[in-house]
Structure 1
């Protein structure tokens, strides 16, 4: 996650620094202006501010992901007596809504001979496989031989092409 934010912010820093430096390096006649050191200083300050903002965003993203992962673990731990059921869960194609949050349909098939519930960890990733967010969907009281459905919704806005994968699925 941090790598994803840092790469984008680094590009913004370079672009911003180039624009600021170019704006102060020549006058209308094309000759160097007397303010080139001021422009360089302004570019340096802008690059420093953008770099600081990128670090802050990366930290916030990492913190949010760590918090979501901890919450997912806590919810999975609540599924007392759960058995692995990853093969009984399918995910629909994720979509990013107008609010910027990604959603995906979660379907759990109960192959047990009695009613069961499911706790499904859904990992939202980018196309490179970098983890963007983690949520747990609880699908309650699925009858024997039947399927239950739920919706996984990311905790925060996600950008780019988002993919999903089942991290853990427990039937209990």
Structure 2
């Protein structure tokens, strides 16, 4: 579960508490009690936290995408090699970062290097992070290995896919 999804769940729980409090907690004159006002404030704060977390996540993903685009732009005379890339199972390393093994197949007769953009996405398909893995000097007709590692800790169910892949 992503941080944003967790905070949405927390906001829902606070909202439910506010509704329950409102149902049975009013002053004798019909005005809401302090508990209801506090619950309403908590709901508003939780909503703001969700919005803030979503905004930060989007900014982080945009920043990572810009860095990946710049790295790929540095590749000269690259050819599309997306079909020559296989990603393994997504895992979390000992430091809490998301990783995925990257295997490249060099179909050329000469040694080549690869720049592979790996995109990490949440269950809904939203981009969480993107990185570029370089696998250097893969022998002609050979395979090479690398590991993509997220730039920050990701939570929840994370899938990985190949964005751009260049052989050069």
Pairwise TM-score range, normalised by the shorter structure: 0.7 to 0.9
Shift of 1:6: 5.2
Between the aligned partners of 1:39 and 1:125, the Cα distance in structure 2 is: 39
Q: Is the 8 A contact 2:18 2:40 kept in 1?
A: no
TM-align CA RMSD: 2.2
1:93 to 83, 89, 95: 89
Between the aligned partners of 2:26 and 2:165, the Cα distance in structure 1 is: 65
Shift of 1:38: 0.9
Between the aligned partners of 1:101 and 1:91, the Cα distance in structure 2 is: 17
Shift of 1:158: 1.6
Between the aligned partners of 1:98 and 1:36, the Cα distance in structure 2 is: 49
Aligned pairs for 1:1-172 within 5 A: 8-19=6-17, 22=20, 32=25, 34=27, 36-172=32-168
Alignment deviations for residues 95-139 of structure 1 (CA, whole Å, 9 cap, x no partner)? 123433210000111111211110000111223322221111011
Structure 2 length-normalised TM? 0.86
Between the aligned partners of 2:76 and 2:163, the Cα distance in structure 1 is: 18
Q: Match of 2:146, SS?
A: strand
Structure 1 length-normalised TM? 0.84
Q: Match of 1:150, SS?
A: strand
Q: Is the 8 A contact 2:100 2:149 kept in 1?
A: yes
After TM superposition, the structure 1 stretch with the greater mean CA deviation from structure 2, 66-75 or 12-21, is 12-21
Q: Give ranges in structure 1 of 5+ residues lacking alignment.
A: 27-31
Give every structure 1 segment of 4 or more consecutive aligned residues whose post-TM-superposition deviation is greater than 4 Å. 4-8, 20-26
